[in-house]
Structure 1
């Protein structure tokens, strides 16, 4: 659910989250404990999609269970309408709001995903999505799969924090700033900011395979979820239409490189993505009509990024196929094979 306010007609996202953390040192209220927590996501939401990707790359599926809401929500909450009886099978609740209220009976802020829930108590622990993925990398190391990549390498953290900040401010949130602008002037200012940053990325990625160099990091995860939605939603729905992603040679090749890497394209649900934006944002799309396009087959065109060197996982290995219960339905992403992985041409 997109929460925000307006200052001089400019959309400003509400970034006040529950800041509790699940930590490995045993000093906090929420200790790392396999099986204790449930990650609640929507495949439509780019912020939640980050956590799905990181959890899969690190091999934490058997350690932290995952509940998936439907792609749409009302003004009240995301709901578990994909599950039998419209109840989450582990938490036994029909909406994620119930986990928020279990802990904070008077909770009045946005009911957002992703959210980590303490299964024994049914209480939400945190919805602080930037911190959730960083903690999956740093606090859950003991339980990561053999060959898991280091998505938050210590020697790159200072530079990566600066890159992440610009990507978040100007691109991840920049598309929303365009789409939810309150007037023409605010829209045009947001549009200019977005495309200045997109051009910066086009230049940065022309000489390096990934945002931070030779291997995938958290920075690539954060950028990918916006790029995956760009042509299908943001280009038209949010009016960021200077060009399509598929018309930007470097960024488009970079996006395809990631899409065909295990953990990225196989977690992308195009049907849920389009359903969410076009059916929920009725102030922008009053008819609620969901576009039939675009054609996704171009995601499988050769990207040629290997010429820059590097490798996705460095000294690590790729994750295997997703478990049957966590596969994106093939009809929601026609580029997946019967195992739930991105097809090869």
Structure 2
């Protein structure tokens, strides 16, 4: 883990943990928006018009936040309109890199070797965390956004006039409900597993892990009686949840000590996860090897040996069992 300080790369393992031993995740700071006509979005500056071939997405297959954006790139059929580069799974002294390895897609736009170099190119003198995803504007040679929640909303609607396929995963009529669900799941689960895994005190861990399983219990009850988080409509809330659920038994249960129960111990949630995994937009975005190698080899303060476990043997392709299961053409 690391960060840029006035444009210079620094190692920064402890900065995100406060005096009580609890993780404090800073907000993303580069938050401009691509819009259909280039007008300013809810935050940041204007000037980023939706155009085919103008933007490039940098992701790590291991990262659940970046994973959301690759799913939306597939859902909306943006593969021919927005380029893609994929980092190496190991996040070590240089942070995310493009070191050649299976599944890595080199930077074809700027030719950089590390993601921190992208930030330095975009914002000389930048001070802050270096994270993925990154949405890059080829015209201005700047980062548009490094906030996954914003990027998926741009992909959802901004490119509808330049070749994106149909499908609205954040409809206005459901937006308030979606935002409320997103907030609850982010606090208790998406970020909750990290708060448990990165905790450096018993008190911080106990608080975080309790929230994780309170959230999972609530989701199990909800999804035992309806198809999706907002009823019978598939929305961005489902995809934001899915990327965490996919990783739960693979890494969070063992590596982050979220081990009160496994995902497979929740019948409705496990079936729901397999249903979403079966969606045709998902297969091109999942790399289990990148996910497991990243967590177990990058977080040496949690797993000093860097040994990657053989299991669990999770069968995401097994047939879902919910009576109201979703089905995909």
Report the TM-score, using the length of structure 1 for normalisation.
0.85
2:212 to 157, 172, 194: 194
Q: How does 1:16-35 map to 2 (within 5 A)?
A: 16-27=28-39, 28-35=46-53
Contact 2:189/2:215 (8 A) holds in 1: yes
- Structure 1 position 179 matched with structure 2 position 197: yes
Question: What do you get for the CA RMSD once the two structures are aligned?
Answer: 2.1
Residues 247 and 86 of structure 1: CA distance in aligned 2, closer, same or farther (over 3 Å): closer
After TM superposition, the structure 1 stretch with the greater mean CA deviation from structure 2, 26-35 or 236-245, is: 26-35
How far residue 105 of structure 1 moved from its aligned partner, in angstroms, is 1.4
- 1:269-288 to 2 correspondence within 5 Å? 269-288=287-306
Aligned residue number for residue 113 of structure 2:
94
SS in 2 for 1:11: coil
Which residue does the alignment assign to 1:332?
none
Greater Cα shift, 12-21 or 71-80: 71-80
**Hey, what does 1:14 align to over in structure 2?**
26
Q: Is the 8 A contact 2:135 2:145 kept in 1?
A: yes
Q: Is the 8 A contact 1:214 1:311 kept in 2?
A: no
- The Cα shift of 1:4 comes to 2.4
Q: Does the CA contact (< 8 Å) of 1:83 and 1:89 recur in 2?
A: no
Unmatched 5+ residue regions in structure 2?
A: 3-14, 40-45
Aligned-pair distance for 1:15? 1.4
CA contact (8 A) 1:208 1:308 kept: yes
Residue correspondences, number: 310
- Aligned residue for 1:303? 320
Corresponding residue to 1:143 among 146, 158, 162: 162
* Matched position secondary structure for 2:231: coil
- 8 Å Cα contact 1:137-1:152 kept in structure 2: yes
- Written as runs of structure 1 = structure 2, the 5 A alignment for 1:1-345 is 4-6=16-18, 8-27=20-39, 28-82=46-100, 87-146=106-165, 148-296=166-314, 298-305=315-322, 307-308=323-324
Give the TM-score normalised by the residue count of structure 2. Answer: 0.89
- Alpha-carbon distance, 1:117 to partner: 1.1
